[in-house]
Structure 1
Amino acid sequence: MCFGDFNEIVSMEEKKGGAVRSQRQMEDFRNAIHQCGFRDLGYRGPDYTWCNMQEGDDKIYLRLDRALATVDWIDHYRETRVHHLVDSTSDHCALLITNSMTQQPPRKRRFHCEAMWIKREDCKDVIKDAWNGCGDLSSRSGIANGLRQCASDLSRWNKLVFGHVPKLIQNKRKILNALVLRDRDGSLGSEINSVRKEINDLLDSEEIMWHQRSRVQWMMLGDCNTRYFHSKASDRKRKNAISRIMDENGIWHETKEGIANVTVSYFEKLYTTSYPSHISKVIDTIPTKVSSEMNQSLIKEFTKEEVLAALKQMHPTKAPGPDDGLSSLINNAARNQRLSGISMCRGCPMITHLFFADDSLLFCKASSQECHQLVEILQLYEAASGQKVDTDKSSVFFSRNAPEALKNEVLNVLGPM
């Protein structure tokens, strides 16, 4: 663990007021954190830890103080919290680091289908029996009842067959150790090999379990990556945990009821229609590709075979999401030479954007003209769809040849990233 005044920030989100920070300085700081294998522990309290103590437009805020730790340290001290404490005698906030938090009452967990269940043949029998016994499947209520029954039966079967996998591994290893100590004459060889096989099967299940929770799709199973998957899953859980939340009036809420009320209020406003008025501008950029004959084929009743084929094309632990018209807006700007994109090598087609699941990569020339065009496209898309770009999760990358003045000019156009 490493904490204190680093006298540097990682992005312009950690600065308020004053001149634009040098991108190279911030990038060097980010690289240093990455090379040390550190993760930011986050904080509770004010967003900035330093102030120049000035007033009006001359006032500058920075988050110069932070606490960093390795993945192993975070995994060992999971309840660590960092608090920013304002001090009247200093221009810095004090860092208070605690290793405990208020225990939340146990809550009923949502049902999750575990990928490790598929290893066992009796899992299929549980699913078949649940659906065969749920009655009429021709109605929505019948299908809903079938899903509830299947989830209930699988949960009950999981407790009987799997239980808590890490604890089972510990218990089996104790049994194996006792058997090896007792096996003076080799008569327990068969029993020892049987327990070893059980442990190996449990280790495979544990790796599958943590792989599913880590959401890491690029790394294959079977290479003893359990520790890596566990650290990624623990990191996701820590990042997703909400210990407090700020409402629209800037007031923090830390109780369970307060957090729930602020969240419900936010999404009620988010999903209440804003009566978008620019949807036609988005639709007009989408070229007509579907003929009448193609449309008739698309609207006809789907078959069981088509549904099965579509399901098998999905990732085993993923679900489909919605699509939109952002790609059409970008393509339209590229066709009209308002965006140039990039080319990987000579003779290759230009790339203006890459979409993968809910992640988007947008490419353009580092010029104020193209960046203004990109901002206009995003604003038009937001007005038409009601969705918003999350600048907290957005970043800007430049080529090595881009001069510092040009970087600052582009960042001023794009805003905080």
Structure 2
Amino acid sequence: MQLFCDVIDECGFIDLFFIGSQFTWQKHFVDGHSTWEGLNRGLANNDWFMQFAGTKIQHLSSNALDHFPLWIILDGLEIPSINKPFRFEEMWLSDRGCTNVIEAVWTSYEEADPSNKVIKKIKKCGKEQQDWNQKHFGNVRRELEKKRKLLREVKEEAMRTGVNFQVRELKKEIDELMDKEYRMWFQRSKVLWAVNGDKNSKLFHCHATQRKRKNSILRIRKADGEWSSDMEQVTETLITYF
């Protein structure tokens, strides 16, 4: 440990300020006791610190790892918020309520031109599913944040009492929510992002192109069994079928 401190002094590293728990490593044992340590830290030399003087490090919580990840927030780097379009979440299929919402909307009467009826029902279905998700299914990321906040409070209690049973129970609940979150992000990526990361933009561009080609309807078989590539006939066939 002394050699490590000597290297820090020799290189002129400065310990950056952090936000969050003072501990960055944890171990919970089945007999009920736990161990916490402050092992991980962020360091920078004087030149870097002067250029990014407002930089902060946030100690994030982790349910899967013993070590807490460190999130470095550079000074002046703000991510703007945007309005996201509606997306159907594959994880909703695990709840019967999703199917009920779709069936109710699709079987409802809609006063509209036949060519616009399908589009209107799709839009209405999306709105109803968003409402159902907020009221019943719940926002996974919001629930995860609540559980993680509660976990931090329970950990503090465990440090005082030496009993970690509530910690282990909450970690199980977070595991279930993380599984739903994984399915959500896997749906968005459509490829193994966890394996490939952002190392190969050409790969993901290729996958996006393949998805576009796969989702394009270039021809369709009509009710009489004949194939047609005329876009008007393709549209008419789809409207008639649905």
Q: TM-score range by the shorter chain?
A: 0.3 to 0.5
After TM superposition, the score normalised by the length of structure 2 is: 0.41
After TM superposition, the score normalised by the length of structure 1 is: 0.26
- Report the structure, 1 or 2, having the larger helix content: 2
Greater length-normalized contact order (CA 8 Å, ≥ 6 residues apart): 2
**Structure ID, larger Rg:** 1
